[in-house]
Chain A
């Protein structure tokens, strides 16, 4: 499978949108989030620990996500992240702007009409 490697800046810019959308419906821990990004992008988007966790902590510091330690029976405790109310608002705005941006780019880069 050919993997398209996206421009670093573009990846960096969209990472926060990705993280927020993946925890929209249920809390997840860091490894799970990074794995889901890789899987759903079919390997196109990969984050290593050095770039992923600073992103996560930044979102937490800004109040878009909140993290808490959860201990499940028979497992080590893990830190789960979920969206805050503010995070939900931000996610909605980002989704809308991203869609418009993509459309705008499409219109400019699309072929001429007859």
Chain B
């Protein structure tokens, strides 16, 4: 008896198996060969012959090859019906290649699918990019997480705000800058526009006021020259150097290397350029950028007698600090709260009365994270952007439902192929994976094109939000967060529209599919259920989007149509800055009157007046007043100053008394005109003419008494959405210390461009050094409605898109059901059913789906309306009329879309159907 173990061992030695395993294998194979030898010998084979046969078997190269494969991988043989274990991603490359082939065979379907995904994903990505830029992105400075915004915790603010930043006065800043415990450095900053021209229409540069520590705290390094340092910022520094941004350097100086030392005129003063900031640095305001930065100490030299640094009640600075190592925001806030009483008592404004002082001394300080910078844009647009992201997400869901229906149809057409593959040994997981590969390919293609589309859409959105007078600077690019979002959305859409059809196709019973011809109802019932479910969800989501669109459109329409109390059209706002003329203070009122008269004399001007606060500009001025006769003390009321003709220019009705006149001078008793809301809410009577009120004066001077000489209709003051508020108008030309600028409201039927040209000509001839700036009142007001316009436009667009997608879906499924039930319809007609019955049967299907979808959508629409409550105006979040309008519209177009396949069903020839049976 030969010993086979040695031969076996020799044959498999090169496999280098585990010794124990090898021993077992040798033992087992050895026994088999021994049994075979005995069998061969019993069958008459001689020893040599038997050994030869068995050696040949043993030395079959397949043995080692098969064992080698077994040890390293687990290759599969094609066993019929074998449901094999699959490694999850094995063969994924083949699946993707196969998917590419299949999609190339169906270019129409592929194009439609990829395009709808690209639009859906692109729209979502564009809005997410905006959210990323406005809300999430940190400042492009080292360690932004260490930056803290120092904020005031306060009651009512008394004084004036002159910049976008309005946290601190200069006096408070001088106290703050001395604090070194919590912060390794603190800086102050503010913003202002500077005129680069020398008279005539202004050419503005966006400016930043910065303390000497600003660039050091932010750890910004110059790309050219140097940046403003502590040594540049000292009291009385006068006109010093200016730092410019990289964008300004490129735009104005062509990026030339010898810009350091060049002169730049700002508000008529020559500044020497000392440095350029890096391209990534845009300041601290997200959504804006700056052109020039000047040290704080220069401010008095520019504003002179109106210097902000000199007034303890001018709030114009923001402060930012870099936390010391080991300090948290909570700890820093506690430290600031501890030192706040000292700071406020050291900076108490002298002109405050007792109540104001008590209030001021209760103010405190806190430190909040500032990694994402400051942003009025964020406050205004964060909520609308999240709402828009939700809306575009819903549209993508609807598009996915449509795609899912398309994929179901394709899977249905490939049933036999799937059944045969299952029978021949493919596992269900493998089939699902192959179908999902197709969905993944579509989703990734859509996402790739979507990212490109998103850049275009993002730029359009940014341009839409900004405007000429208030441009937005918001660099949009697909950073890691945006890319993760996009591809996450792509994977989600793949799952949403790919999984159900793939699982359904792979779960088909091969035997049943092979037996049936795919006709009749029974085979497709489950698939119909899924498709019906998809249609119902599409209808529900479309209703939500249509309702949202109608709510936002109505909000915008309500705001546009709102009576602001004055006529907005045909009014030009013209700012005249005559500081360059050095008109003595005593002569300024006279100069202003003459200037107004010149404006009135320009041909085409119907009326003109001067004002301190342009209505709905966002500017404000308030004071505490006392009305002894009405027992009112220290009531905070909004103020404005206006010349004669103001109410005539704005066409605000004069209800009682008189307008201001030439006789209202600084020497005559102070007079005021009040609005209806003032009379009703404070005086409790319709006619306040002759009544008086007092306004506290600074520096301990006696209260200034005003007599009410006129009553006008209510007007909106700062914002269209605000409630009506009491307003006091004082005479512009009774103001004792007029400034060196005048703002005129000019009503004319001339086109604004023509009027502006006339104004410029008139001023150029007499006072070429006067700086002019123009805006159209109605345009400015509309620009403040940009947010509402954005919501109305985009939600309207998405609502229509959603409705179109839902209608395409309904049309698709009704058509599909008509095709599948063609035989049944033919048989029914043959058995006597009339066309109306058939039509009713088909349309009935559509109506049932529609009704279920509308009912489901109503609840969702109510929830969505509630979520958007704060953004609506003039209507309730759940408005039955709006809902009825949306549902009615959806019903009409759904029935219309279903009629086409229903008419096709009625046209079925029963004889042809029966022949085919």
Contacts and interface: CB of A to CB of B under 8 A. Distances in A.
A103 B58 CA distance: 38
B82 A94 contact: yes
Nearest to B4: A49
A51 B66 contact: yes
Given A97-B81, A98-B81, A104-B514, A78 B67 contact: no
Contacts of B79: 12-17, 94
A26 B424 CA distance: 28
A35 B511 CA distance: 33
A87 to B, nearest CB: 12
Given A48-B60, A62-B85, A97 B422 contact: yes
Interface residues of B, number: 37
Nearest to A54: B66
B74 interface: yes
A53 B62 CA distance: 11
Contacts of B78: 9, 12-13
B415 to A, nearest CB: 14
A101 B25 CA distance: 36
Contacts of B82: 13, 16-17, 90, 94
A100 interface: yes
Given A15-B79, A17-B79, A58 B70 contact: yes
B425 interface: yes
Nearest to A48: B57
A40 interface: no
A43 interface: no
A49 B33 contact: yes
A53 B32 contact: yes
Contacts of B74: 58, 61-62
Interface string B33-59: 101100100000000000000100110
Interface in A62-103: 62, 69, 76-79, 90, 93-94, 96-98, 100-101, 103
Given A12-B78, A13-B78, A51-B66, A100 B83 contact: no
A57 B66 CA distance: 10
A72 B422 CA distance: 43
B77 A12 contact: yes
A100 B514 contact: yes
Interface string B1-36: 000000000000000000000001101110111011
B70 A54 contact: yes
Given A13-B425, A97-B423, A104-B423, A49 B80 contact: no
A1 interface: no
A5 interface: no
Contact of B28 (A79, A97, A100): A79
A9 B123 CA distance: 52
A93 B32 contact: no
Given A54-B67, A79-B24, A14 B57 contact: no
Contacts of A96: 81, 511
B907 interface: no
Interface centre among A15, A16, A93 (most CB of B within 10 A): A16
Contact of B80 (A34, A51, A79, A97): A97
B68 to A, nearest CB: 10
Contacts of B70: 54, 57-58, 61
Interface string A16-31: 1100000000000111
Interface string B53-97: 010011010110011011000100111111101000000000000
B510 interface: yes
A43 to B, nearest CB: 12
B81 A93 contact: yes
A50 interface: yes
Interface centre among A48, A51, A78 (most CB of B within 10 A): A48
A50 B81 contact: no
A14 B80 CA distance: 6
Nearest to B64: A50
Interface centre among B54, B57, B81, B425 (most CB of A within 10 A): B81
A104 B78 CA distance: 18
B38 to A, nearest CB: 10
Contact of A93 (B28, B58, B83): B83
A29 B510 CA distance: 34
Nearest to B56: A48
Contacts of B77: 12-13, 15-16
A57 B551 CA distance: 69
A30 B80 contact: no
Contacts of A57: 67, 70
A97 B518 CA distance: 20
Contact of A101 (B54, B57, B83, B423): B423
A50 B29 CA distance: 9
Contacts of A53: 25, 28-29, 32, 63
A50 B57 contact: yes
Contact of B32 (A12, A30, A69): A30
A76 B31 contact: yes
Contacts of B57: 48-50
A93 B83 CA distance: 8
Given A30-B28, A58-B70, A104-B514, A50 B80 contact: no
Contacts of B514: 100, 103-104, 107
Contacts of A62: 74, 85
Interface centre among A15, A50, A57, A69 (most CB of B within 10 A): A50
A49 B31 contact: no
Contacts of A13: 77-80, 82, 425
A25 B70 CA distance: 27
A101 B426 CA distance: 13
B56 to A, nearest CB: 9
Given A16-B82, A57-B70, A50 B423 contact: no
A94 B423 CA distance: 9
B80 A54 contact: no
Contacts of B58: 49-50
A57 B72 CA distance: 13
B583 to A, nearest CB: 98
A31 B85 contact: no
B510 to A, nearest CB: 6
Contacts of A107: 514
Nearest to A53: B29
Contact of A31 (B24, B36, B62, B63): B36
A86 B116 CA distance: 44
Nearest to A108: B514
A50 B62 contact: yes
Contact of B511 (A49, A50, A94, A100): A100
Contacts of B36: 31, 49
A4 to B, nearest CB: 18
Contacts of A49: 29, 32-33, 36, 54, 57-58, 60, 63
Given A50-B60, A51-B60, A53-B25, 13 more contacts: A9-B78, A13-B79, A13-B82, A16-B77, A29-B31, A31-B31, A31-B35, A51-B66, A54-B63, A93-B81, A96-B81, A97-B80, A104-B514
Interface of B: 24-25, 27-29, 31-33, 35-36, 39, 54, 57-58, 60, 62-63, 66-67, 69-70, 74, 77-83, 85, 422-425, 510-511, 514
21 contacts: A17-B82, A29-B31, A30-B28, A49-B32, A49-B54, A49-B63, A50-B58, A53-B28, A54-B62, A54-B63, A57-B67, A57-B70, A90-B82, A94-B82, A96-B81, A96-B511, A97-B81, A97-B422, A97-B510, A100-B423, A100-B510
Shortest Cβ-Cβ A-B pairs, 9 listed: A97-B81, A54-B66, A50-B60, A50-B63, A100-B511, A13-B79, A48-B57, A31-B35, A50-B62
